[in-house]
Structure 1
Amino acid sequence: MTRGYLTDIHRHRNMAGAQDVVERSMSINAKFLPRLKAAVEQNALLRIGWTGSGEEVPKNGEVGLCPGIPEGARIKALGKLGSWTSPFGAGGRFNVEGEVGSFFGAYNNGSTVTCTGFIGRCGGFMMQEGTLVGSEGADTDLGMFMSEGTIFVQGQVGSRLGNGMTGGLIIIQGDVEEDVGIAMKGGRIIIEGRCPTPPLGISLRPLKAKELKEINSILLDYDTVLSDDALCLEPNDEIGLEVQSNHVSSGDLSTIGLVPMGEQTLIENHPVDTVAFIPGTEEEAPAIMLPIPILPRIPDGNLLRTEDNSSGRLTRIQSQPFLVIENPRPIDIVQLNLQSLCNLISTAPVVSGVCIDMDSLPSMNPEEIDGLLVAIRTLMTTQSPIMTLQGISRIQSHHQSSAYHEVQAAISRIEDGSGTPEAATLPIMGRSKKNELDKTSVITALEFGFTSDAHDVVVARCAGADFVITEPPMLEIDDIEYWLQGLTIDLQNTLRNLGLDSIDILQRSHLRALDHDTASVSGLRMSGYERPLPHWFAR
């Protein structure tokens, strides 16, 4: 494979070109986006790729440009732009004179985005409203998961057009490749050109006269019309089968014990430090403080509102950051998945950090991840941490990517469908952390599929995780408060029993496997045998 920006993530930022692209992109956003409000008031056009005197200076590869452009804004760009150009649009207009990379106009919610050249893959991804127009064709997965809005492209379009779309209208004047409309559940795809046989569940029919008139009225703005030969694809009424995997890990951490390493037990009520930190983007940037090394996960932050806490009984909840999907508090971290990214414009500026669920999004190469990170960073507080979340079975590539993109934390999800036992994740994480993150500032964490107790948290810390993500046992505010209080007390008592006054002193040597199977998959010293099983030393 040819080494380069799109394929090589092992040469951590040694390639000046990749870093330069990110810096140029952030600089353009920092320069232009603050001027949008004044430009809207003056009905002025902002131009990217021209000097003040009008001389052309085409852009080349910049990523994540101009996210979240507001209603009334007008921006024109010249050159060959990279991925995630003009995402999260909120009503403005963005025109590219040239080519554009993947995820052009992604998460559009009312903007009009146009391109005179070729559009990369996943154009109009998760589009909710607005318009996307292309004049020279598009790559694969155009209109993927769109729910509303209109896409009009002239020229050849790649495979899986309208992949998984649930609504909206796609119009293509040109030939399309295979699997048109695959997994679509709503909306229409209109094609004037060669169209292969659609996949199961998608019907292909001629346009009705009323529909043709409707489509042509839309196309009047683009000086073109469809002929009577145009075809319409839409989902039929056949019953679709959806198979979900329930393959989960085969155990928990109860078969791992904790032993002191010669330290004397601390007396009751001896002060113990249980604080963990998620660093900001720079050394001097404020970190997120976790009173105990857990990040509780709940779906809706409204559950945590404590405006009526006059009695002061909810002190733990008020100081504990949570990982939430919607309605976060200012101290919370928002989990950005396929759906919650739709609300990025409103959530990003008001949270202490974000966690990107990479498993919920289409797989992306390093250039595309850079584009997404630039767009997110532009919309949120500059120094707030960005974390990524991915399955434990991809931990090595995840850690490599985290180091390359300089995110603040790499979180591994144990319940990723691989069935990896919890005990086996400990050496997997430790080995990958040592090999891929040893000389970086990236911290690591584990996401458990069960409600963790103090023992689980201590075991994870011994194995190298800086904190764990877990769900509260119940989603009632009083129950969550009592759970946090009990977890804090149990964590302090566990450390005192080990003779430690800080959670930062924990080491892997404090762990013991309590049975043969756990020792076999974890590489831990077996209790009684007091060393790892022999096969861990085999070469």
Structure 2
Amino acid sequence: MREVTTKSIKLSRDLDGMLSEALERDLLVRIGWGRGGDEKPKKGEIGAITHLPPKSRVLLLGDLGECAGAMNRGGSFTLQGSSTSMLGAFQQDGRIVVEKDVGDRLGHRMTGGSITVQGSAGDEAGAGMLGGTVIVRGHAGKRVGAGMGDGTVIVLGSVGSEPGVGMTGGRVVIAGSCPPPGDGTAMRGIDASEISQLSEHLEPLGLTLEDDALVLVPSDSAPTVAESPESFVAEGFGSIALVPSNTDRLSDHSPLDPYTLLMPLGSDEGGVLFPIPWLVECESAYEWGGGMAAEQPALVRTSPRASDLLLVGESELVDCASFLSGCAGVVLDLASLPPLNDAEIEAVLVSISSRMPEDSLVLLRDCVDRVDHLFRLVVELDLDGAVIDAAAPGGGRAASALPRIGLAARAMNLIEQGRHLMIELDESPSAEDLLIAVGAGCPVIVAPPPEEGLEDLLSWLDSTLRGWMRELGVDGLEKVTRRNLRALDYDTAAISGLRLVGYDRPLPMWLGN
């Protein structure tokens, strides 16, 4: 773990401890000063001062890294210093004031509250925002307000090229020089009523707008919104068969170990135990009854049990803070987040993991088409593993995902490092699906439950899984390998790299891989 990451996690955990007492006594939390009032400014911490609860107040001295003040839930944060990219990103409510400059994507995807920057801002200030107010006293870079759907951005200085490009709602008010607006954006003068309305935000700061200010709004001929292609799994593992790797079956009284244990990297504590190697993906498993369902881990978006993993996408970024202490780990869904660079992803992970026990699992999720990038992030950010979605735009074949996952994992040496891989399918798995995934190097399948009868399905899977283990001659799931897998036709052998049934060897094109 990098030094800046360690410092950032410590800062977040210390802040959580101070906030609980400060909220009870209505106190301001001061960070960056010693007990004697001497200055000890922070420098470069990432994911700092995030998820502030309502009525909390924080004053920090120093220069922060990515995602400072992000996911604000209603607190007040004053930064006596500067910040790099994505300050106040995904803010839901509250107030942020920065006394110096900030980097790119100020207030990115925020939905409420206010952000005031006394200095200048980088590119794409207010991009994608859906509500709230952003005020920049200095200048702003290119594409200010890009793609915004609601809210107000006020820049008292000049702005860069393509202001307001792709905006569908809201407004950008510019008091300084402004180049021609971007596509889908119209420019007009400011109304007297708007000056009066905006003065409510500006006058407390000692700022004013003149009547020569410009306002950018969506034009009547806004560009057509792009419709993303549907991603799904067109074909599962139906063209792959299981075969014994030796001639000996296990006797009916032989003990079997169908359990799968996923441990945090480098830890002997914590982890998640799977009675069946299936991570059930659902909204919440909190109300599941007793029986096998009570013991089966799930991938949930809300109200996790102690054995569940919490799926965190853009919609869950703010509210996930309420659940982080009660789950076994998190899966950050890169596919549902806006494009982020490595430092910004790490900052989001710092914000999340600092609110969890140290022995919790932290994984990333993305589609199989981006598996190389996904695995690189897992290694460089020192995470516990990845969830790879086998779905692809226009329909993906699960068999074709296996070699892509296997080759990328081997190139990054993931399995030898003790990192975990899970493959995600669109439908509830069969016992054969579970064993095929295990044999291909993915010890757990992520898939939704059936519409009804989950308990019956779990019981059937447990029985069938044990029957297959006896037939294959293995007493533990970890002993199932690619040697137990056969492609049932030439096409499947060609896309999967598995041995072709009857031929019992991979096709020549796969030799050496």
Q: TM-score range, shorter-chain basis?
A: over 0.9
Q: 1:56 to 1:406 in 2, by over 3 A?
A: same
The equivalent residue for 2:140 is 157
Q: Residues 61-89 of structure 1, C-alpha deviation per residue, up to 9 Å, x if partnerless? A: 11111222233333222222111212222
Q: 1:107-163, CA deviations, whole angstroms, 9 ceiling, x for partnerless residues?
A: 223221111222122221232322111122212232233222211112222233233
1:168-194 Cα shifts (integer Å, max 9, x gaps): 222111222334333433322222223
**CA deviation after TM superposition for structure 1 residue 270, in Å:** 5.2
Q: 2:348 and 2:142 mapped to 1: Cα distance? A: 23
Native 8 Å contact 1:317 1:481 kept in 2 = yes
Residue among 257, 263, 278 paired with 1:294: 278
Aligned amino acid, residue 526 of structure 1? L
Equivalent residue in structure 2 for 1:471, among 438, 448, 464: 448
| Aligned match of 1:170 | 153
Query: Secondary structure of 2:318's match?
Result: helix
Cα displacement (A) at 1:451: 3.3
Q: 1:504 aligns with which of 469, 478, 486?
A: 478
What letter is aligned with 1:358? L
1:481 is aligned to 2:455: yes
Preserved contact between residue 271 and residue 328 of structure 2 (Cα < 8 Å): no
CA deviation vs aligned residue, 1:246-281 (integer Å, no higher than 9, x gap)? 365553211111110114233457543221123236
2:351 to 375, 382, 387: 375
> 2:464 corresponds to which residue?
490
Q: Which residue of 2 is the match for residue 3 of structure 1? A: none
Q: 1:468 to 1:534 in 2, by over 3 A?
A: same
Equivalent position of 2:227 in the other structure: 243
- Contact in 1 for aligned 2:72/2:318 (Cα 8 Å): no
Aligned to 2:22: 39
1:73 matched residue in structure 2: 56
SS at match of 2:241: strand
Q: Distance in 1 between matches of 2:18 and 2:255?
A: 52
Question: Secondary structure at the residue paired with 2:365?
Answer: strand
Q: 1:451 aligns with which of 420, 428, 432?
A: 428
1:390 to 358, 366, 378: 366
RMSD: 2.4
Report the counterpart of residue 136 of structure 1 in structure 2: 119
Match for 2:439: what amino acid?
C
Structure-1-length-normalised TM-score: 0.88
1:278/1:408 contact within 8 Å kept: no
1:101 matched residue in structure 2: 84
The separation in 1 between residues aligned to 2:244 and 2:306, in whole angstroms, is 39
8 A Cα contact 2:184 2:221, kept in partner: yes
Return the letter of the residue paired with 1:30: R
Distance change >3 Å, CA 166–CA 261, structure 1 → 2:
same
- Contact 2:267-2:359 at 8 Å conserved across structures: no
SS, match of residue 274 in structure 1: coil
Q: Secondary structure at the match of 1:301?
A: coil
- The percent identity for this pair of structures is 30
Rounded to whole Å, the distance in 2 between the matches of 1:507 and 1:495 is 12
Residue pair 1:281, 1:384 contacting (<8 A) in 2 also: no
Contact 2:302 2:320 in 1 (8 A): no
Q: Against the structure 1 CA distance between its residues 33 and 176, is the aligned structure 2 distance closer, same or farther, given a 3 Å change threshold?
A: same
Letter matched to residue 446 of structure 1: I
TM-superposed deviation, 1:434: 2.2
| Structure 2 equivalent of residue 535 of structure 1 | 509
- 1:430 paired residue number: 406
Give the deviation of 1:428 after TM superposition.
1.8
Aligned partners of 2:369, 2:48: CA distance in 1, in Å? 33
Give the 3 Å change call, closer, same or farther, for CA 41–112 of structure 1 in structure 2.
Answer: same
Is contact 2:91–2:109 with CA below 8 Å preserved after alignment?
Answer: yes
SS at 2:317 equivalent: helix
Task: Identify the residue that residue 344 of structure 1 maps to in structure 2.
Answer: 320
| 1:431, distance to aligned residue in structure 2 (A) | 2.0
- 2:341 corresponds to 1:357: no
Secondary structure at 1:78 match in 2: strand
Cα 1:271/1:146, change in 2 over 3 Å: farther
Structure 1: distance between partners of 2:230 and 2:111: 30
Q: Mark the CA change 1:538 to 1:354 in structure 2 (over 3 Å): closer, same or farther.
A: closer
Structure 1 residues 266 and 76: alpha-carbon distance in aligned structure 2, compared to 1, 3 A threshold? same
Q: 1:242 to 1:54 in 2, by over 3 A?
A: same
2:374 maps to amino acid: H
**Cα gap change, 1:282/1:535 in structure 2, threshold over 3 Å: closer, same or farther?**
closer
* SS state at 2:376 partner: helix
Please list the CA deviations of residues 368-391 of structure 1 after superposition, one character each: whole Å capped at 9, or x if unmatched.
222111110122333221111012
Whichever residue aligns with residue 305 of structure 1, its letter is: E
Task: State which of 309, 317, 330 in structure 2 corresponds to 1:333.
Answer: 309
Distance 1:247 1:340 in 2: 21
Alignment-derived partner of residue 148 in structure 1: 131
2:446 aligned with 1:462 = no
- Mapped pair 1:125 → 2:102: no
Can you list the C-alpha shifts for 1:421-457, whole angstroms capped at 9, x where unaligned?
A: 3222222222222221144232111112343222111
Task: Check the 8 A contact 2:10/2:354 in 1, yes or no.
Answer: no
**Measured at CA, do residues 241 and 126 of structure 1 come closer, stay the same or move farther in structure 2, by a change above 3 Å?**
closer
2 CA distance for matches of 1:26 and 1:249?
Answer: 38
Q: Give me the whole-angstrom Cα distance separating, in 1, the residues matched to 2:485 and 2:70.
A: 47
Does 2:419 align with 1:442? yes
| 1:525 maps to amino acid | R
- For 1:66 and 1:485, the matched residues in 2 are separated by 46
**Cα 1:179/1:454, change in 2 over 3 Å:** farther
The alpha carbon displacement at 1:462 in A equals 0.3
**Partner in structure 2 of residue 5 of structure 1:** none
Which of 488, 500, 507 does residue 526 from structure 1 map onto? 500
- 1:209-288 equivalences in 2 (<5 Å): 209-236=192-219, 238=221, 240-246=224-230, 248=232, 251-268=235-252, 271-280=255-264, 282-288=266-272
Q: Would you say the 8 A contact 1:124–1:142 is kept in 2? A: yes
Q: Which residue of 2 aligns with 1:305?
A: 287
Offset at residue 405 of structure 1 (A): 1.5
Number of equivalenced pairs: 511
Check whether the contact 2:51–2:318 (CA below 8 A) recurs between aligned residues.
no
Q: What is the CA–CA distance in structure 1 between the aligned matches of 2:251 and 2:216, rounded to whole Å? A: 73
Partner AA of 1:28 in structure 2: L
* Aligned AA (2:293): I
- 8 Å CA contact 1:414–1:447 kept in 2: the answer is yes
For residues 424 and 154 of structure 2, the distance between their equivalents in structure 1, rounded to whole angstroms, comes to: 42
TM-score, scaled to structure 2 = 0.92
Contact 2:172 2:216 in 1 (8 A): yes
Q: CA deviation at 1:470?
A: 1.0
Give the corresponding residue for 1:4: none
Question: 2:154, 2:392 → 1: CA distance?
Answer: 37
Q: Would the aligned equivalents of 1:63 and 1:84 in 2 still touch at CA under 8 Å?
A: yes
Q: Give the letter for the 1:217 counterpart.
A: E
